[in-house]
């Protein structure tokens, strides 16, 4: 742009203002599209693809599926003669 002085001077062009509605709408549409792709990928995957092959080592054996009866414990109902109280000594006193 020539000036009165005769020198050539570059000036800044006026900047156009951002239209924030258009800006937010475009990023909103892109975010919705990416979210749709992620949800679709999660919903349609049938298997979990894993590069690592995991193995299980059992430290404790699994319990049996059938319940086993406990062995019967014999209950001693009679008291041995050495532990019986002596009734004859009580009756005399």
Residues 58-76, mean pLDDT to the nearest whole number = 77
What is the pLDDT, as a whole number, of residue 59?
Answer: 83
Distance CA 31, CA 39 (A): 12
Kindly report, residue by residue over 41-60, the tens digit of the pLDDT. 888 877 766 667 778 788 88
Distance CA 73, CA 71 (A): 6
What is the pLDDT, as a whole number, of residue 2?
Answer: 55
Q: How far is CA 18 from the centre of its chain?
A: 44
Kindly report, residue by residue over 28-43, the tens digit of the pLDDT. 999 999 999 999 888 8
Distance CA 33, CA 27 (A): 10
In the DSSP assignment, the letter for residue 5 is T
Query: DSSP assignment of 30-90, as one string?
Result: HHHHHHHHHHHHHHH--S---SS------SSPPPPSSPPPPPPPPP--SPPTTTS--HHHH
């Amino acid at each position: 742009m020539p000036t009165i002085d005769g020198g050539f001077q570059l000036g800044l062009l006026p900047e156009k203002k951002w239209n924030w509605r258009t800006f937010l709408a475009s990023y909103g549409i892109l975010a919705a599209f990416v979210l749709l792709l992620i949800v679709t990928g999660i919903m349609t995957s049938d298997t979990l693809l894993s590069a690592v092959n995991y193995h299980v080592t059992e430290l404790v054996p699994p319990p049996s599926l059938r319940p086993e009866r406990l062995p019967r414990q014999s209950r001693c109902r009679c008291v041995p003669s050495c532990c019986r109280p002596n009734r004859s000594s009580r009756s005399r006193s």
